[in-house]
Chains A and B, each alone.
Chain A
Amino acid sequence: MATNQSRAIGKWALAPSLIVLSAWAFVPLALTIYFAFLRYNLQDPDNTSWFGLSNFYYFLSDPYFTKDFINTILLVGSTIIFTIAGGVGLAVLLDQPFWGRGIVRLLMISPFFIMPTVSSLVWKNLIMHPVFGLFAGIQRFFGSTEPIDWFGHYPLISVIIIVTWQWLPYATLILLTAMQSLDGEQKDAAAMDGAPPLSYFRYIVLPHLSRPITVVILIETIFLLNIFAEIKVTSVGGFAGNLTYLVFSQLNDANDVGAAAAGGIIAVILANIVSYFLVRIVGKNLEG
C-alpha cells in the first residue's frame, strides 16, 4: 500500500474526482466574487463596469439588511431552541415501550421528507389561513369571530412554526438514537442509587444527550441560515425575510446582480463568523 508506485497510482486515480469537485465548488464562488465587484444590473446589462466596494456598501446600508439580519438570528435561534426542547421530550417518550411504537416513530420522521415548498403551501392555505385554515376553524369553534391572520400579523412567528415543524423530526431522530444507546445497566444503577425519574433525567439522560444535542445545533444552524422556500411561498419576505431572502430580492426585484453577489459573500462571511463562535462554544462537547 505504501510503496511509491502505489501512491502515484492513488494520486492519478483520485485526480478526476478532485478536479470535478474543485470545479464544482470554486467556479460558482469565483464568479460570485467577480460579480460582487461589478456594477451589473440586468435592467442595464450593457453598462457593466468596475464598482469597487460599492456593492458591499449599498447592501450593508440597506435598511432591510439590519432587519433581515435580526430575523435570521431569531429564526435560527428560536427554531433550534424549540426543536431541541421538543426533540428531547419526544425522544424520551418514543424510547418507552408502547404498542405501535414502530409506526409512531415512522410517522414522526415523515415531516422531514416533505419538500419545504409543499409543506409551506399546506401550512399557508390549509392550516394558518385566516378564512379556510385549521387554526381559524379551531378559533371559530371556540367562539372567536376574528381569527388570527397569522402571516399578516405574525409573519416571523409563522415561519418559525413551520420551520420548527419541519426540523423537529430531525432533532427527535438523532436524540432518539442517542437515547437507545444509553446503557440499560445505567438505568439499573440509578435505580439502585435511588434516583427518582426527574433526577434520572437531569443527571443521567441529559448529560448523555449533550453530545447529540451539540450535533443537532451545529447541523441545524448550517441549514437554517439558508431557509428560503418557507419565506418565499408564504410571501412574508418583506416582513420576515432573512439574509438569503434579501439576496434573492436584490436579484429578483432589483435585478441587481452585483448587489446580490455582494450580499451572498457577506452572508457567507457572517455564517462563518457564527459557526466559528458556535464551534468554540458547543464544540467542546464533542471532544473526548
Chain B
Amino acid sequence: MGTIQLKKVRKAFGESIIIPGADLDIKHGEFIVFVGPSGCGKSTLLRMIAGLEDLTSGEILIDGKDCSDAAPASRGLSMVFQSYALYPHMTVRNNIAFGLKMAGETPEQIAPKVAKAAETLNLTEYLDRKPGQLSGGQRQRVAIGRAIVRNPSGFLFDEPLSNLDAALRVNMRIFIMQLHKDLGATMVYVTHDQVEAMTMADRIVVLNRGNIEQVGSPLELYNKPNSKFVAGFIGSPKMNFVEGNIAAKHKAKTIGVRPEHIDIVSGKGEWQGKILLTEHLGSDSFLHVDAGDAGRLVVRAPGEFAGKPGDNISLKPDAARIHKFDAQDLSIR
C-alpha cells in the first residue's frame, strides 16, 4: 500500500506563510510530480510528507493512518535528496545498509537485501568504495539504493537529477521511470524542470507561491491549463501571451498561443511580423518574431525552415488552440 493524503496542510514560519493550505490525494502506485518555480514551496511540501518539517496545521494520512506527528522513519517512506546526502565516511555497502541497521536488523538479514539492491542498481562492484570515489551518477544510484533497500511504501525525490549533467539526467530519468514500473510503489517527485514533470508524471501538481494551482495528467495541463501561470509553466518553449486589442477581440484580458500552434502562411495571415532571431535545433527551428501589435512571439517552424533574421513573415494562430484568460489570469472556457 502507498496512499498519501494531504488535508488542509499548512506551513508558516511566524508571519510568512509558505503553504496556505494544500489538499491532495495520492493513489497507490502513482507517480506524482510537484513542479513549480523555485521558492514555490514544493520542497517544503515534500519534506512535510517525509516528516522532516512540522505541520503548522492540517493532516497527513499515509496508508489511511494519521502520520502528521510521526517520526520520519516510522512513515514507511524513503527519500532521495538533491545533494544525495550520502554518508561520506561509510562505504557504499554501509550507506545502503545504515537504515536497516538502525531498524535493528541483523547482519545476516541485511546482507542479501543490500546485495539485491546493489544488483538492481549495477553497484555490486562499487560496494566497498566510499562515496568520494564515485561519479555523480553512481552516487545518485547509491542514494536510490539506500531508498529502495528499506522496501518502503512510497518514495520521495527532492530534485534528484539537478546535480547531474544533461546526458546523465536523461538516462537517470528513464531509469527512475523503469524503477517505478518494476516496483509499482508510489513516488512523489519534486522538480523545477517542466520537461521532467511532463515526461515522468502520472499526474503533475503545479505549485505557485505555496498554492496548488492545478493537478492533472501532463496532457490535461498542456491542453487545458486552469490559469495563465500553469499555461506559461507547462510547455517548452513557453506559451506566447498577447494582451490589448487582439485579446479583446477574443473577449479576454490575455490570450495565449503555444509556439507550436502558430503556422507560417504564405500570403496574408492574421499577424505580420519580422524575424529577429532563429534557433535551429535540427528537428525544429524556433523563430523569435516581432509581430507588431501582437508583440514579440516565439514560433515553431520545421527544422529546414530557410527564413533568416530580417525576413518578413505572415503568421496564423490555430484558432481552436487559443487559450483565453480573464483579468484574474484564470482560464475562460
User: Do residues B98 and A203 form an inter-chain contact, with CB atoms below 8 A?
Assistant: yes
In the complex, number of A-B residue pairs with CB atoms less than 8 Å apart: 63
Interface 1/0 per residue, A160-193 and B, CB below 8 Å: 0000000000000000000000010110111111
Residues in B neighbouring A195, C-beta threshold 8 A: 73, 98, 102
- Decide: B73 and A186 in contact? CB cutoff 8 A: no
Per-residue CB contact flags for chain B residues 33-57 toward chain A (1 = under 8 Å, else 0) read 0000000000000010011100000
With contact pairs A188-B52, A288-B132 given, residues A194 and B99 touching in the complex (Cβ less than 8 Å): yes
Contact of B82 with A by CB under 8 A: yes
Q: Which of B83-91, B119-127, B206-214, B244-252 contacts A (4 or more CB under 8 A)?
A: B83-91
The reply to whether B74 and A203 contact each other, CB–CB distance below 8 Å, is: no
Determine the distance from Cα of A15 to Cα of B12 in the docked complex, in whole angstroms: 63
User: Which of B51, B85, B103, B132 meets A189, CB within 8 Å?
Assistant: B85
Contact with B52, one of A191, A194, A207 (Cβ below 8 angstroms) = A191
Contacts of B50 in A (CB 8 A): 188, 192
Pairwise interchain contact A185-B74, C-beta atoms closer than 8 A: no
Q: How far is the CA of A190 from the CA of B85 in the complex (A)?
A: 9
> How many residues of chain A have a CB within 8 Å of chain B?
19
13 extra A-B contacts, CB within 8 A, seeds A188-B79, A189-B79, A191-B71:
A185-B82, A188-B52, A188-B81, A189-B86, A191-B72, A191-B73, A192-B99, A193-B99, A194-B71, A194-B73, A194-B74, A194-B103, A207-B87
Taking beta carbons and an 8 Å cutoff, which residues of A are in contact with B?
A: 183, 185-186, 188-196, 199, 203-204, 207-208, 210, 288
Known interface pairs A192-B79, A288-B132; A185-B85 also in contact (CB < 8 Å): yes
In the complex, A37 Cα to B146 Cα: how many Å? Answer: 66
Most chain B CB neighbours (cut-off 10 Å) among A186, A188, A195, A208: A188
Query: Contact at A186–B87, with CB atoms within 8 Å?
Result: yes
CA distance A193 to B99 in the complex (A): 4
How far is it, in angstroms, between the C-alpha of A189 and the C-alpha of B47 when the chains are bound?
11
B89 touching A208, Cβ below 8 Å: yes
Q: Is B227 an interface residue (CB 8 A)?
A: no
Q: Is B153 an interface residue (CB 8 A)?
A: no
In Å, the complex CA distance between A186 and B81 comes to 9
B78 close to A (CB within 8 Å):
yes
Residues of B within 8 A of A (CB): 47, 50-52, 71-74, 77-79, 81-83, 85-90, 98-99, 102-103, 132, 146
The answer to whether A189 touches B73, judged by C-beta atoms less than 8 angstroms apart, is: no
B85→A186 contact, CB < 8 A: yes
Q: B87 touching A204 by the CB < 8 A rule?
A: yes
Q: How distant is B82 from chain A, measured CB to nearest CB, in Å?
A: 7
For A207, list chain B residues within 8 Å (CB).
87, 89-90
B residues near A186, Cβ cutoff 8 Å: 85, 87
Say how far A205's CB is from chain B's closest CB, in angstroms: 11
- A192/B83 in contact, CB under 8 A: no
Point out which of B71, B87, B90, B146 has the most chain A C-beta atoms below 10 A from its C-beta. Answer: B87
Min distance, Cβ B77 to any Cβ of chain A, angstroms: 8
